[in-house]
Amino acid sequence: MPTPNVLVLRAPGTNCDGEAVFAFERAGAKVERVHINALREQPHRLRDFQILVLPGGFSYGDDVAAGKILASQLQNFLADAVREFRDHEKLILGICNGFQVLLKAGLLVPPDDDGPLATLAHNTSGKFEDRWVHLAVSSTKSPFLKGMTGLYVPVAHGEGNFVCRKDWILSGLGQAGQVVLRYTDPKGNAAAGYPHTPNGSQDDIAGICDASGLVLGLMPHPERHVLPTQHPRWTREGLKQEGDGMQMFRNAVEFFG
């Protein structure tokens, strides 16, 4: 099987790039961390990679809004390169802050003449949420989620409340299969509010993909549960073969097999 090359894009404030590198290397990929300034100087470098990852953290300190500054850099300096990357049927993954960046850059849900169709707002709890959550895979449109039904992973964010501008937009995303991950309760039922949906997202949405399925954004952190010992109760419940998030990264690698 060919070994895909993964570019993990980092910026000032990014702090989950190491975990993303570890997860993809464990899945069998070759991974390189690249600073946003280096990629701006040489956008053609994207052509050497098959997977682009925007990891979690607090790019630029979330000074303007979560992910907004990095999103602006993608729009203003790398739009053509990223569009070419996606059009060649390569994969893009945004985790937490990376999800915020992809959404605000218009790479998941393109804006219309009136502006963005959806955004990630402040958690309705009014506080930073750091907890483990249960997710259900509600659509298999994304190659990252092939063969998966659910997973148990942590969240750590202050702005993860997925909100659409109009109800028809939310309905359209669901009908198109772009709502790929939803929060649930521990038994897999609808989350029915806080704390199972930690941020108040509409329709319990935890992750969406673009119309092609090649671009995926999610608020929870699958890269923080790739080892069985990362499970918070492994000493009481026993070790699984691997962490729940590992399959996502393996799916991405095998997509190019």
- Please tell me the distance from the alpha carbon of residue 149 to that of residue 134, in angstroms, as a whole number: 11
Give, as one character, the DSSP assignment of residue 124.
Answer: T
Q: Is the pLDDT of residue 64 over 90?
A: no
Confidence band for 44, pLDDT divided at 50, 70 and 90: very high
134 is known as an active-site residue: no
- Please tell me the distance from the alpha carbon of residue 87 to that of residue 96, in angstroms, as a whole number: 24
- Percent of the chain at pLDDT > 90 equals 96
Q: pTM (2 decimals)?
A: 0.97
Query: Average pLDDT in the 220-233 region?
Result: 98
Contact (Cβ atoms closer than 8 angstroms) between residue 200 and residue 194: yes
Contact (Cβ atoms closer than 8 angstroms) between residue 169 and residue 175: no
Q: What angle (nearest 5°) sits at the alpha carbon of residue 202, between those of residues 250 and 249?
A: 5
Go through the domains of the chain in sequence order and give each one's CATH number.
5-254 (3.40.50.880)
pLDDT value at position 146?
A: 97
pLDDT value at position 183?
A: 98
16 is known as an active-site residue: no
Write the CB contacts of 23 (distance below 8 Å, at least 6 apart in sequence). Answer: 222, 223, 226, 245, 246, 249
Residue 232 has which token pair?
A: 């918070």
- Please tell me the distance from the alpha carbon of residue 189 to that of residue 45, in angstroms, as a whole number: 44
Q: What is the pLDDT of residues 121-141, one digit of tens each?
A: 999 999 999 999 999 999 999
Residue 187 has which token pair?
A: 């038994």
Query: Average pLDDT in the 78-87 region?
Result: 95
Query: Average pLDDT in the 183-198 region?
Result: 94
Which is catalytic among the residues 19, 129, 159, 223? Answer: 223
pLDDT value at position 1?
A: 65
Write the CB contacts of 190 (distance below 8 Å, at least 6 apart in sequence). Answer: 182, 184, 204
The residue among 119, 106, 133 whose CA lies nearest residue 220 is: 133
Residue 215 has which token pair?
A: 């671009």
The count of other CB atoms within 10 Å of the CB of residue 80 is 9
Which is catalytic among the residues 16, 19, 96, 134? Answer: 96
Which is catalytic among the residues 122, 134, 221, 231? Answer: 221
Write the CB contacts of 83 (distance below 8 Å, at least 6 apart in sequence). Answer: none
**DSSP string covering 139-206, please?**
---SGGGTT--EEEEEEEES--EEEESSHHHHHHHHHTT-EEEEEE-TTSSB--STTTSTT--GGGEE
96 is known as an active-site residue: yes
Q: Find tokens 């804006």 and name the residue.
A: 111
